[in-house]
Structure formats: structure tokens, C-alpha cells
Structure 1
Amino acid sequence: MKKYDFIIAGGGMAGLSLAYYFTQSPLRDRSILILDQELKNSNDRTWCFWERSQGPANPFEAILFRSWNTVSFHGTSFAGPLDMGHYRYKMLRGIDFYNFLQNELAKYPTIERKQATINRIKDTPQGGFVIANDEPYIADYVFDSTFLLKLDQPENHNLLQHFKGWVITTEKACFNPEQPEIMDFRIDQQGDCRFVYILPFTQKTALVEFTLFNENLLTEAEYDTQLRQYISLFLDTGAYEINETEYGVIPMSDVETQEILSEHIVRIGTSGGYTKASTGYTFQRTQRYLQSIVRNINQTGKPQRPVSWFKKRFKLYDSIFLNVLEKHRHPADDIFTRVYTKNIRRVFTFLDEDTRFIDELRLFATMPFMPFLRAFFDVLRRKITN
């Protein structure tokens, strides 16, 4: 049985990114095995994220599909463009990401990739042990992005962000390529948080995506109906053709996660708690956390990421927000309207968890007081009594 320095269980966004960051560090000569049951050769998803214009260089900047410095928002009391200030909104297609990283990783003969179904992962005194397609593998560290979170615990808030989108080409020029619509709440909310966002490629081509935050998935026909209704009511497309379809489900849960599971096993990506519970955003947080892991292994030989106790306050904020949504304490479309229109200079920094406490208090002051206060006490009760 061959032993590797690192085994990466799951070759999706988190796994491929981690392997890439190893190649960009003094650890580039370590032996790495990447295991995944899929080939990652299709455009199966789109990642959108914001980033400071003058921050550290993004390794994926050259393969971005689109980038914008202004976005549009349509809420309960505001409709129009939002100036993102020092931030830009960026779109990265899955197929471009996979192709780029697979080409980069192919330059390193110490990196192996195998298409396999992972049967078991466990810790042993000799290292992290993986069985895939009934074959055994072992490594100093196993980085696992395949573990499924338990999303049914009563002390937690367990919503889902689920969405379906179409890339459409229209008869009429109805899109503004310079301005994506990040949230449009004009659709019937039906007691949930429901919105459409539009990522324009040209005046006649865009990704139109219907998104919900709640506990229950819809049927395929229901997603399609919502998309057709939105296009019919709010876009002057003329005839249109559906070129691509994407569908996804992201957990919005404050379930406790274990990033460092044991001496030789580390969970990464959503499995390691990298998805922000209140928004479902994962891409940028994953990149940031993985780079920290690689730095720490290089400097100390250990993967632990240092996280200050004060930084953990953001988990409380996430739980409170999820409680407001779960209990329908205030209309979600109004909450998001307040967040984006009254806090545009700080909201992206806040969602990146880089704000000062005084800035967080200013943002909270724009929210409806009693619904969030009730949510705060309910969060404390659930954590104590369960």
C-alpha cells in the first residue's frame, strides 16, 4: 500500500483548490492523491463572489468569465444600481475553473488523480486511511470534502439555499452587460425568501436564476414555472432559447462542524464548515481558509487554522439571521432591502467577516429591532435546552 503525504478526498472546488495551493508553496514536491467519483469535465455550476479591487492577487483572475463594479438590486423600497465602492462582483464558471486547475496540477508528477468512489475514511496511528473502490490508501493527512453534515438536529437552524438557473439567448436586447441584478424580489415570496438574480453576458445572453431560502425543495416543474413567469413578467426578451441549465442545493445551517476531525483527518469545504450559514457563500471563504491551512503546514507541520475567540461572534450573527428566516419573524425581502441599501459601504466587508464591532452595531441598527431580539433569545434557548 503506497503512502502519500496528502490525500484529498473529493476533487471538487475545495479539493482542487487545496492541491493548487500546495503547488504554489514550498510544499509543491509533496506526494498528493486526489480521489473523486466524477471527472469534473462539465460546466456544472457557477461561483459568484465579491472581492476588493486592490486586495491580494486572485489566482483565478485570468479565468473569470465576467467582473462588474456596479450591481443592481430590486427590493421592497428601492430599485436601481448599487455602487460597490472598493469591491467588484465576479463570476467564475465551473468548467473554466476545473480546466485551469487540472492543467496546472498536471505539471506536477507528484500529484495523482483517480476516479473512484470513496468507501471509508478513518484515522489510524500510521496516518489517515482511505478506502476507495475497495482499494486502500494512506497519508500523513487526509483532507475530506465528502462528509455530509447532519442537517436534522433540533438545536440547529437547517435551511437550504436551492436554485435553478437558465442561460438564455433572447430575440431582443434586454440585458445590461455592465450591471448584474444580484437580487430581484418582485416575485411572489409565498412566505419564504425568494428572488431572481441575473448575470448578463451580452445584451441578449444571460444567466437567469431563481433562488429560495427555506427547508423544502421544489419539483423540477415548479422551478421551471417560476423562471418562466419571471421572464414573462419582467424581461422583454421576445422569443428566447435555453442554452444551459444549472441546479444546486447549499446548506444554510449553523450545525457545529469539525474542521480538524482527528490527528490525520481534516475536513474542508462545506464539510469543514466553510459555507457561511446565513448566505450560503462558500467560494471565497474556502480559498481563504485553504491558503491558511497550507501556510500553517509549511510553517508548523500542522494544518490547524488559528481562529480568535472574538471572531466566533459571526457564528452567533448567522444563527440569529437564520432564526429570523426560519420563524418568518420579518419579511425577508424587506430585511435584504435594508441590508443592501442602508449598508452598502459595509455590507460586503461584514459578510466577509472583516468588520469592526462598531461597524456591526451600525449595521444591526438598520434592522427591525424586535424580530431580531426575539431571534437572539430563541437562539440562546435552543442552544441551552438541546
Structure 2
Amino acid sequence: MKKYDFIIAGGGMAGLSLAYYLTQSSLRDRSILIIDRDVKNQNDRTWCFWEKGQGPFESIVFRKWETVSFHGTTYSGPIDMVDYHYKMLRGIDFYAFIEAELAKYPTVERKIATINRIKDTPQGGFVIADDEPYIADYVFDSTFALKLDQPENHNLLQHFKGWVITTEKACFDPNYPEIMDFRVEQHGDCRFLYVLPFNEKTALVEFTLFNDKLLSQEEYEADLRQYIDRYLDTGAYRISETEYGVIPMSDETTTENPSDHIIRIGTSGGYTKASTGYTFQRTQRYLQDIVHSLHQTGKPHRKRSWFKGRFKLYDSIFLNVLQKHRHPADDIFTKIYTKNSPRVFTFLDEDTRLIDEIRLFTTMPWWPFTAALFDVLRRKIVG
């Protein structure tokens, strides 16, 4: 049984990003095995995120914008992002870029297999895939399935279906993506569309919900068609690509380091921001911290400030407001984005100062959020 320095269990966005950062560091000569059940050769997803300056994947960013549009309850128009850019990265471009980079390093191996088991041993992290054993000093696991079933916590889902459409008429403004359009029936949930234009006749149109119940594929499509017919002057249109996804929005405590030789990454490690479902940028930041720690100390344990824990409390409060329907979600997001730009982007990146957070909180409806705060504290005490 061959022993590796690192095994990456799961070759999705988190696993491939980690392999990339390892090869870009002083650890590039270490042996790495990536195990995944699929070959990543399809445009199976799109990541959108905001970022200051140039990022590590700037060369493959598909589109980026300096200003975004928003349509809420009391405001419709542009939101200036100031120092940020809103960026769109296609899955197929990311996979191809990473594959080309990893191919430069003979120390990186790939295995297409189904992972049967991962466990810690005194000799290292142990993985069985297609009944074959593998061992490494450290196993980075992005396949661990979170249970998300604790009653004292909040467990919602962000689920979405989107179409890339090409239209007969020039109906899109390529300079203004619509990041949230709440002109759809809310049904007591948080429901919105976003429209990311590639050019005047092509865009990704995606229907997104925050709640705890998935829809049928036909229901997603019905809302997509209704929005396009009502608000986009397309003429005829053709659907060229489809994407669908489900992201957990949960404040359950995740164990990033469950044992000496196993480290959970990506959603498995709690990298998804509970209140928004955004994962891509947080994953990049956390993985770079892990690689830096490996370089500095030989151990993959990123440093975390206890004071940063306040953002978990904020996430829990926000999820409580949504889950308990304490205030209409479309109005909450309208207040967040229109009264706090560009502070809101820094806040969601968890880079604000406490005084900035207090200023943001004063723009929220005070009673729903106060009630949510006390309910969150009660759950934690009772739970």
C-alpha cells in the first residue's frame, strides 16, 4: 500500500483548489492523490462572488462587473460596489485550468473511484476507494455529509435552477447584472431571480429560493418561464445550458478537524456561509490559510480568532428571522443592500469592524431581529 503525503478525498471545487494551492507553494514536491468518482469535464455549475482586485483565478473569470442591479420592495436600480467587482466563473473553465496546472507536477496523481470509507489511524489518514486502501499523512475530506438535523439549530436550503438563454431581441445590458430581483411571488419564503448577462442577447437567468423544501423541476421551470415572459423582452429564446443545485444554509457546528490526520474542507468543513450560501470565496481563503499553516508549522490547522465567532451569531440570527418568517425576506434584503452599500459586501466577507456592523444593524427592522436574537440564545442554552 503506497503512502502519500496528502490525499484529497473529493475532486470538486474545494479539493481541486487545495491541490492547486499546494502546487503553487513550497509543498509542490509532496505526493498528492486526488480521489473522485467523476471526471470533471462538464460545465456543471457557475460560481459568482465579489472580490477586490485580482484573484488567483482572474485569468479564467468569465465575466466581471463594477456595478450590479437590484430590484426589491422599495428600490430598483444600480448598486455601486466601489472597490469590489462582481465576478462569474464557469465550472468548465475552472476544471480545465486546474487540470492543466496540476498536469505540470508528476507528484500529483488522480484516481477515479468511489470512496467507501475514511478513518484516522496512528499511521495516518486511511481511505478505502473501490475497495482499495490508501494512506497519507493527511487526508483532506470534502465528501463528508453533514447531517443538519439538530433541532436547536437552523437548517434551511438554498436551491436554484437556471437557464442560459439566447434571445431573439437584444434585451440585456451587459454592464448591469441583476443580483436579486424579488418580483416573483414569495409564498412566505425568500424567492428571487438573478440575471447575469454575457452580451445583449445571452444571459444566465436563475431562480433561487431560501427555505426548507425543494420544488419539483417543473415548478422551478414554471417560475423561470413566468419571469422571462413578464420582465424580459426576449422575443423568442433558446435554452442552451441548464444548471441546478442545492446548498445547505445551516448554523450547526461543523468539525473541521475531527482527528489528527483528517481535515474536512469545503461544505463538509463548514466553509459555506450559513446566511447566504456563498462558498467559493470563503473556500479559497480558508484553503490558502491551511496551505500557509502547512508551510509554517507542518500542520494543516488554520488559525481562527475567537472574536470572528460573532459572525456565526449573526448568521444564526438571520436564519432565525427567515425560518420563523419574522419579517418579509424581500424587504430585509432591500434594506441590507440599499442602505449599506458597499459595507454590505465587506460585512458578508466577515471583514468589517464592530462599529461597521452596529451601523448595519441599525438599518434592519429592530423587533424581528431582537426577537430572533433572544430565540437563538434560548436555543443555545436549552440545547
Matches of 1:325 and 1:174, distance apart in 2 = 33
Matches of 1:88 and 1:30, distance apart in 2 = 35
Task: Quote the residue 2:315 is aligned against.
Answer: 318
What is the letter of the counterpart of residue 271 of structure 1? S
Aligned mate of 2:189, from 189, 192, 202 = 192
Q: Any idea what SS the aligned residue of 1:201 has?
A: strand
Matches of 1:71 and 1:361, distance apart in 2 = 25
Task: Quote the residue 1:2 is aligned against.
Answer: 2
Q: Any idea what SS the aligned residue of 1:353 has?
A: coil
Equivalent residues in 2 for 1:166-245 (5 A)?
A: 166-245=163-242
Shift in Å, 1:198: 0.4
Shift in Å, 1:383: 1.4
What is the letter of the counterpart of residue 13 of structure 1? M
Unaligned runs of 5+ in 1: none
Aligned mate of 1:307, from 304, 308, 315 = 304
Structure 1 ranges of 4+ moved more than 4 A: none
Contact 1:150/1:255, CA 8 A, preserved across alignment: no
How many residues were matched structurally? 383
Matches of 1:279 and 1:92, distance apart in 2 = 18
Task: Quote the residue 2:72 is aligned against.
Answer: 75
Deviations 1:136-161 (A, max 9, x none): 00000000000011112101100000
Matches of 2:94 and 2:110, distance apart in 1 = 16
What is the letter of the counterpart of residue 172 of structure 1? K
What do you get for the CA RMSD once the two structures are aligned?
A: 0.5
Aligned mate of 2:267, from 259, 266, 270 = 270
Equivalent residues in 2 for 1:73-152 (5 A)?
A: 73-152=70-149
What is the letter of the counterpart of residue 16 of structure 1? L
**TM-score, normalized by length of structure 1?**
0.99
Shift in Å, 1:348: 0.4
Matches of 1:28 and 1:179, distance apart in 2 = 40
Matches of 2:296 and 2:302, distance apart in 1 = 12
Task: Quote the residue 2:44 is aligned against.
Answer: 44
What is the letter of the counterpart of residue 109 of structure 1? P
Matches of 2:353 and 2:11, distance apart in 1 = 35
Matches of 1:3 and 1:219, distance apart in 2 = 45
Deviations 1:14-34 (A, max 9, x none): 000000000110000000000
Matches of 2:305 and 2:241, distance apart in 1 = 43
Matches of 2:149 and 2:199, distance apart in 1 = 42
Task: Quote the residue 1:294 is aligned against.
Answer: 291
Task: Quote the residue 2:359 is aligned against.
Answer: 362
Matches of 1:357 and 1:383, distance apart in 2 = 23
What is the letter of the counterpart of residue 73 of structure 1? F
Task: Quote the residue 2:343 is aligned against.
Answer: 346
Contact 1:45/1:246, CA 8 A, preserved across alignment: yes
Matches of 2:226 and 2:33, distance apart in 1 = 46
**TM-score, normalized by length of structure 2?**
1.00
Matches of 1:361 and 1:148, distance apart in 2 = 35
Deviations 1:249-293 (A, max 9, x none): 000000100111110000000000000000000000000000000
Matches of 1:43 and 1:34, distance apart in 2 = 20
Task: Quote the residue 2:369 is aligned against.
Answer: 372
Task: Quote the residue 1:65 is aligned against.
Answer: 62
Q: Any idea what SS the aligned residue of 2:166 has?
A: strand
Aligned mate of 1:261, from 258, 281, 302 = 258
Unaligned runs of 5+ in 2: none
Task: Quote the residue 1:32 is aligned against.
Answer: 32
Matches of 1:88 and 1:71, distance apart in 2 = 9
Matches of 2:95 and 2:29, distance apart in 1 = 21
Matches of 1:38 and 1:382, distance apart in 2 = 40
Q: Any idea what SS the aligned residue of 1:338 has?
A: helix
Matches of 2:350 and 2:22, distance apart in 1 = 25
Q: Any idea what SS the aligned residue of 1:136 has?
A: strand
Shift in Å, 1:376: 0.4
Q: Any idea what SS the aligned residue of 2:240 has?
A: strand
Shift in Å, 1:345: 2.3
Matches of 1:40 and 1:329, distance apart in 2 = 42
Of 162-171 and 147-156, more deviation after overlay is shown by 147-156
Matches of 2:129 and 2:336, distance apart in 1 = 45
Matches of 1:83 and 1:348, distance apart in 2 = 11
